[in-house]
Amino acid sequence: MLCKIGEIEVWRILELNGPYLTPEELFPFDASEAREAINAHAPSQLCPSTGGLILPIQGFLLKTSAHVILVDSCVGNDKDNAHPDWNQRSGKRFMASMTAAGISPRNVDYVLCTHLHTDHVGWNTKLEDGRWVPTFPNARYLVPAADEQHFRDGAGSSYAQSVLPVIEAGQAEMVTPGHMLGDNVTLISTPGHTPGHVSVLLRSGSSEAVITGDALHTTAQCWHPDWHFKYDIDGPMAVASRRRLLEESSEADRKVLGSHFALPSIGRVFAKGDSFRWEEQ
Ligand SMILES: [Zn+2]
């Protein structure tokens, strides 16, 4: 188990932990300072051999008293993907992590997508007899409505392989920020990376935590929340969401679980002047 938030068990479901693009490629408007800042604040996230940013691809499995909830489903197997490490995979690590958490696919009650990018929806479906079918046969899939509309209009392979089959199976539910899943889990609005992007607030007793999704990609963005990430669809909106999330997390003394932060990807943020300090836990 990764941690407990009050009575909620949080398990890490890790699929990949390898280098991706370089800081200069990922933060093109802030390229001159990005590598130095990441080296100073998140050195374990820089790959010594490729110089790329190491990007864990992970979901978080939540066990509340009422539900088993998977937040984000990573890249998946057999999917078409422009990124070679993510293309046509046949990996076993994701499902092994689920098993280690004591969960089989049929035990999952909800799959919650923070947004519909390819590295967050892959295990929504699996290939069976040449057809994409929901991996989690008894789950409701919660999909941010604004993202569904956006990605349906673009209709790339990720939507076709990992989102549409779940909708066609009648297992998807379009949701908006503020949506509550039982007493412990609330979707909070963090648009910008994608139009309907949500982060996930966990509350149990006096404990709070937030799963960032892609509101941030490295803890260096706590110190530099104004950096523009290459794949933020609306950069200024993403910056505003990131700042608000960091402010609220700092004020509420929440644990922060960063979906793409260097492992262990868990800590707290503290306001420091115009930015924030990350402290790993
Ligand atoms: Zn991502």
Tell me, what's the pLDDT at 156? 85
213 CA from centroid of ligand 1 (Å): 7
- Are the C-beta atoms of 268 and 256 separated by less than 8 Å? yes
Confidence of residue 134 (pLDDT cuts 50, 70, 90): very high
In DSSP terms, 60 is beta-bridged to 12, 71
246 CA from centroid of ligand 1 (Å): 18
Please, what is the average pLDDT of the chain? 97
Cα 254 to Cα 113: distance, rounded to the nearest angstrom: 21
Q: What is the DSSP string of 24-47?
A: HHHSGGGHHHHHHHHHHH-GGGB-
Cα 123 to Cα 59: distance, rounded to the nearest angstrom: 10
Count of H-run helices and E-run strands, the chain:
9, 16
174 CA from centroid of ligand 1 (Å): 20
Of 134, 2, 144, nearest to 59 by C-alpha is 2
263 CA from centroid of ligand 1 (Å): 15
- The type of residue at 202 is L
Residues near ion ligand 1 (CB < 5 Å) are: 119, 214
36 CA from centroid of ligand 1 (Å): 22
In DSSP terms, 175 is beta-bridged to 144
Domain boundaries, the chain: 3-280
pLDDT tens readout for residues 71-91 = 999 999 999 999 999 999 999
Tell me, what's the pLDDT at 128? 97
261 CA from centroid of ligand 1 (Å): 10
Cα 154 to Cα 152: distance, rounded to the nearest angstrom: 5
In DSSP terms, 40 is beta-bridged to none
208 CA from centroid of ligand 1 (Å): 23
192 CA from centroid of ligand 1 (Å): 13
2 CA from centroid of ligand 1 (Å): 20
Tell me, what's the pLDDT at 154? 78
Is pLDDT at 15 greater than 80 in this prediction?
yes
- Are the C-beta atoms of 71 and 142 separated by less than 8 Å? no
116 CA from centroid of ligand 1 (Å): 9
pLDDT tens readout for residues 216-252 = 999 999 999 999 999 999 999 999 999 999 999 999 9
Whether omega before 19 lies within 30 degrees of 0, making that bond cis, reads no
176 CA from centroid of ligand 1 (Å): 19
The answer for 72, left when phi > 0, alpha when psi is -120 to 50, beta otherwise, is left
Three-state DSSP class for 15?
Answer: strand
In DSSP terms, 198 is beta-bridged to 189
Whether omega before 264 lies within 30 degrees of 0, making that bond cis, reads yes
Three-state DSSP class for 269?
Answer: strand
Q: Provide the token pair at 272.
A: 């420091």
39 CA from centroid of ligand 1 (Å): 21
The average pLDDT across 111-119 equals 97
Q: Provide the token pair at 162.
A: 């990992």
Portion of the chain with pLDDT greater than 90, in percent: 98
Tell me, what's the pLDDT at 189? 98
Q: For 85, which DSSP code?
A: G
Better-scored residue on pLDDT, 156 or 61: 61
Tell me, what's the pLDDT at 220? 96
Is pLDDT at 153 greater than 90 in this prediction?
no
258 CA from centroid of ligand 1 (Å): 10
User: For 109, phi and psi rounded to 5 degrees?
Assistant: -85, -35
- 194 to each of 5, 164, 199, 237, how far by Cα in Å? 27, 18, 12, 10
CATH architecture for the domain at 3-280: 4-Layer Sandwich (3.60)
Cα 25 to Cα 31: distance, rounded to the nearest angstrom: 7
pLDDT tens readout for residues 161-188 = 999 999 999 999 999 999 999 999 999 9
207 CA from centroid of ligand 1 (Å): 26
121 CA from centroid of ligand 1 (Å): 10
- The rounded radius of gyration (Å) of the Cα atoms in the chain is 18
27 CA from centroid of ligand 1 (Å): 15
Of 187, 177, 191, 265, nearest to 222 by C-alpha is 265
Distant-in-sequence, close-in-space partners of 195: CB < 8 Å, separation ≥ 6: 146, 147, 149, 150, 233, 234
260 CA from centroid of ligand 1 (Å): 7
